[in-house]
A and B are shown apart, each in its own frame.
Chain A
Amino acid sequence: MGLVEFAAAKALASSAAFLFTTLLLMAAAKRISTCVVLFAVQCAVITAEILAIAYVQRSGEVLAVAILVLIVKVIAIPYALMWIVKDIKAAGEVQSSTTPAQSVFITAGLILLAFFAVQPYARSLRVDMNMLAAAIALLLTGAFLMVSRKKALMQVVGLLVLENGIFLAALITTFGMPLIIEIGIAFELLMGVLLMGIFVFRIRDTFEHLDVSKLRSLRG
């Protein structure tokens, strides 16, 4: 086995562990900028995974998807988010309704839940159980971040983590969708983040804070 095959196999085998680590760190993080960096790391792990698949399958199309993810998710979106974090000059705390310890505990629980949930499917779909569990864990933790964090920007990060989960599930079960669709989805995600950025600024300008849990005038 050559060095490249070895690296590809290692990347495939250990990326689930890296993904779980980013999730737990994200749950513990106190600052929004930390979460953004962790998101970038998470996407980098996924990029490595796609590269490994591209190498194993000898597929140019999958390679193109890897480059797309690298540009959009590892570079463009974190860069845009960091720019927003800097520009709003508000305190960069995530302001969670749970303490960091509780968050880590809940995330660990969600990871275990993901393992239980995928057990019946992993065999029939003939995919690596760790990776499928990682995808579901990303989905669940993303949703958890969205409901527990009060800052508008953290809801965006939670949404992105959730979307990563769906992307990963598609990747490991089908080796990705047709390239044109992947490009469309990536473009859509980028536009979505930009639009959410616009709304973050508008929330700051009209409410003079970024705490979404206080946005509750519309009821009933």
Chain B
Amino acid sequence: MAMTLLLPMLIPLLGTALVLLCRPARLATQVAVAVGVGELLAIANLVRNLHRAASGVLTSPYFRADHLTAFFLVNIAIVFALVLIYSIGYLRHIPEGRFSSPRWFYALLFLSLFTMVAVYLAGNLGLMWIFVEATTLATALLVGFYNTKGAVEAGWKYLIVCTVGIAFALFGTIALYLAAVRSGVPQEAALDWTTLMAAAPRFGGSADLVKVAFVFVTVGYGTKIGFVPMHSWLPDAHAEAPSPISAMLSGVLLNCAFYALLRFESITTRAIGSGFPHMLLLIFGGLSVIVAALLMVVQRDLKRLLAYSSIEHMGLIAIGVGLGSVLGLYGALLHAFNHSIAKCLLFFTAGNVRENFATLRMDKIHGMARSLPWTSGALVLGSLAIVGMPPFGLFISEFMILMASFGAGRYEIAILVLVSLSVVFGALLYHFQAMLGGEETTRPAHSGLLGTEFAVISMCVVSLLLLGLRVPNALTNLLHLAMGVLQ
């Protein structure tokens, strides 16, 4: 029982050590794939056991898994599988440096995976904080992986900004702990999520403290999620990291921080009502959506553009949760899932652009549609998906969030979202038509996509289409169960 729960954390940890032992690049890749397959099986086993368990919860000291965990674990498993397959092809041009060889790449990748899975499985808010901070430490070296001036600067900024942000989240965690202790929860259990959820209705006596806690936690974890105005690290880190890592940051790291915030949100809502926490989420969400949309217009670097798009989508998810209705929450969770796959597709495509032109400056690349037809096709499909065009998955989830805001009578939010989405659409159209059309200025280094790259990119496209035509029953079930945990 306990092993089922701990295995998804132990395998990547073991994998880190194993990969480091394999000097030859080829061997390191093979070991990494084997460990990756093992990890997927471990997660699948955990989710299956969770569905069989009558209580819907698996516990061991300090760790627990419920259906919300299961939903996010499925998400991380899918994204991680895509990232791993893409990395196999992507890593072939990485030179053998002191810390920048393939084995270091895979080792750090597994270490980050361990920390993120541990965030999902932590049953204790203090432990969760420790692992969220650990995700920063584990991914910082991956952000600075290329060791160029830009990469080192981005890595440093990421490390400092996120560590300070996360320190605020610790302050918030302590404030909630204090509120719990003052409401009569025994000290050793006052950080335990299950205990806190059960005891939350009795926190009325320290409502102010709970409010202070939620503000600090939102600012703290919000730094990691990329809420405006704490987002300054995000575009740098996404742009300077190797492309598979950018996909992982955007697809799972942001979701991981959002998950931490969701856990706090449900306790706070139970303790002091949904008014205050939801207002805060709507403010940060609205601000992120509109500011990121406007900044997307002026970007010149493809990956920075995609990074701002991530901020925008995280804002949308926050709005979905902040609306407080069942439909809004459903849309938000589904959107987190869809967004992670769409961002994988786009960052993988961007990686291919960089390999071919050795630059990501959109104003320096022209005529890509003719020189790289497949990559261009993937870029177009990805951008159609990300702006929420049917028949892709993001259309459904964005539509749900919009419906929720109309349903709640929050027309100002619906209008804000609609305006931002049109700005984003215009920005992408403007950037990509210049990049794809026109006369070829530079020849690509090699043409087309490698076998593995082609495979992952088409996997992304197919799954986005499937999610858009009809949300699979298994996912719908998982989502409904996950929402049951939060309410």
Contacts and interface: CB of A to CB of B under 8 A. Distances in A.
Given A188-B130, A192-B137, A195-B137, A152 B174 contact: no
Contact of B133 (A170, A174, A188): A188
A218 B164 contact: no
B355 interface: no
Contacts of B141: 195, 198
Contacts of B163: 159, 192
Contacts of B428: none
Nearest to B236: A218
Contact of A163 (B149, B155, B167, B239): B167
Nearest to B212: A121
Contacts of B171: 166, 169
A142 to B, nearest CB: 9
Interface range on chain A (Cβ under 8 Å from partner): 35 or more
Contacts of A56: none
Given A206-B152, A217-B150, A195 B140 contact: yes
Contacts, number: 107
Contact of A178 (B126, B155, B240, B295): B126
Chain A at the B interface: SS class? helix
A191 B300 CA distance: 36
B174 A170 contact: yes
B159 A195 contact: yes
A177 interface: yes
A188 to B, nearest CB: 5
A123 to B, nearest CB: 13
Contacts of B436: none
B67 interface: no
B304 A203 contact: no
Interface residues of B, number: 45
Contact of B153 (A159, A169, A218): A218
Contact of A166 (B134, B174, B177, B298): B174
Contact of B159 (A146, A162, A199): A199
B160 A155 contact: yes
A118 to B, nearest CB: 12
B149 A177 contact: no
Given A199-B156, A220-B304, A169 B174 contact: yes
B149 A206 contact: yes
A173 interface: yes
A60 interface: no
Contact of A212 (B137, B147, B156, B236): B156
B299 interface: yes
B60 interface: no
Interface in B148-173: 148-150, 152-157, 159-160, 163-164, 167, 170-171
A83 interface: no
B191 interface: yes
A207 interface: yes
A184 B154 contact: no
5 contacts: A159-B167, A174-B181, A177-B126, A217-B150, A220-B300
Interface of B: 62, 124, 126-127, 129-130, 133-134, 137, 140-141, 144, 147-150, 152-157, 159-160, 163-164, 167, 170-171, 174, 177-178, 181, 187-188, 191, 235-236, 239-240, 295, 298-300, 304
Given A178-B187, A181-B124, A217-B150, 15 more contacts: A159-B160, A159-B167, A162-B164, A166-B167, A170-B177, A174-B177, A174-B178, A174-B181, A180-B127, A185-B126, A195-B137, A206-B152, A218-B236, A220-B298, A220-B300
A-B pairs, top 8 by smallest CB distance, nearest first, are A181-B126, A184-B130, A170-B174, A218-B236, A215-B153, A202-B152, A206-B152, A166-B171
